[in-house]
Amino acid sequence: MTLQKLLGIQLPIIQAPMAGSQGSALAIAVSNAGGLGSLPCAMLAPDAIRNELAAIKAQTSAPVNVNFFCHVPTAPNAEREALWRASLAPYYTEFGIDASKIPVGAGRAPFTEELAQVISEFKPSVVSFHFSVPSAELMARVKSWGAKLLCSATTVEEARWLEAHGVDAIIAQGLEAGGHRGMFLSDDLTTQISTFALVPQIVRAVKRPVIAAGGIADAKGVAAAMKLGAAGVQIGTAYLLCPEAMTSPVHRAALKSDAARHTALTNLFTGRLARGIVNRLMKQLGPISSAVPAFPFATAGIAPLRAKAESQGSGDFSPLWAGQNVGGCKEISAAELTRQLASELH
């Protein structure tokens, strides 16, 4: 079965969910153009998710993918937090920030019973997960209204594991990808390989359709991924300059600059590895630091620095998530970009 048939879409192009950088508007535009738009929910409260799903329902009858993180939440650790705040102390002084007033907070929530209840009111036909899948009970709940489930895999082992746990299609996330690495069976960075090495190996290892993600930015890249056996592609970075995305001004400026050619994996902004454009914080404290609290607690300590810097037009403390190929970022409508990405498919 083709991916289009499985998901009820016309084009095998999935707009990657990008928490913090887009909402329903981008998803609606891509889905109405025949691709699969995605709504990232990791940074949304239940009411916000409800509002976004209502907006989607009002503006498209095409399928839209609803995306969640599935990390195992940990309790905040005072010792790690203190170490992290000490690393950031010189910056607090530079910006005149009173560190004692910065709250400890998570900022990103995993998929739960409560969120399953929220989405059950809308019965989305596609639901995707990052950092593994939820419990068998929650998976069954989401499948009960016929939803197809997708999840990112970054290794052959993760792909096999996802297939055994009932995922309908597997997103092969190569090392080039922007944003968080979906790795969940291992945190060993040496297991992570590039998209065009990963996709054919996962295609051979599993029976489910495989969706290629990471560094795909134009029609030739899409066609090449399909040649390697992918049933579809998931593209994030290329959509970040579309007017329907909520990409911040400093993020947009960075994506358009020469700096965008230099990305790295960093754990500084959340506590988990994610790929972004190298900026001041990454140069000075990382890109990878052992002083960082566990995911997602690193975010709270940086938040006031990010806010101050961004108000001065600087992305020095912002997560400038981007993949290794920003060559496809265009300031054109998401519908037009989707059509262009699909233009070399037969």
Ligand X SMILES: Cc1cc2nc3c(=O)[nH]c(=O)nc-3n(C[C@H](O)[C@H](O)[C@H](O)COP(=O)(O)O)c2cc1C
- 300 forms part of the interface with ligand X (CB under 6 A): no
Please report, as residue ranges, which positions from 306 to 325 form the binding site for ligand X (by CB under 6 A).
321-323, 325
Question: Which 216-275 positions form the footprint of ligand X (CB under 6 A)?
Answer: 216, 234-237
On the 0-12 / 13-18 / 19+ scale of CB atoms within 10 A, 50 is: middle
**16 in contact with ligand X (CB under 6 A):** yes
Under a CB-based contact definition with an 8 Å cutoff, are residues 72 and 284 in contact?
Answer: no
Closest to ligand X by CB, 92 or 196: 196
Under rule CB under 6 A, residue 35 binds ligand X: no
Closest residue by Cα to residue 233 from 327, 155, 338: 338
Coil vs helix vs strand at 302: helix
> Any contact of residue 177 with ligand X (CB under 6 A)?
yes
Choose which of 110, 215, 221, 287 interacts with ligand X (CB under 6 A): 215
Distances (CA, A) of 136 to 132, 155, 165, 169, 245: 12, 22, 8, 17, 33
Q: How far is the CB of 38 from ligand X (least distance, A)?
A: 8
CB-nearer residue toward ligand X: 125 or 152: 152
| Of residues 102 and 177, the one with the C-beta less far from ligand X | 177
CB nearer to ligand X: pick between 20 and 80 = 20
Cβ–Cβ < 8 Å for 223, 344: yes
The residue from 3, 70, 147, 213 that contacts ligand X (CB under 6 A) is 213
Region of 146 please: left (phi>0), alpha (psi -120 to 50) or beta: left
The C-alpha atoms of residue 122 and residue 213 are separated, in whole angstroms, by: 27
Would you tell me which residues interact with ligand X (CB under 6 A)?
Answer: 16-19, 21, 40, 42, 67, 130, 152, 173, 176-180, 213-216, 234-237, 321-323, 325
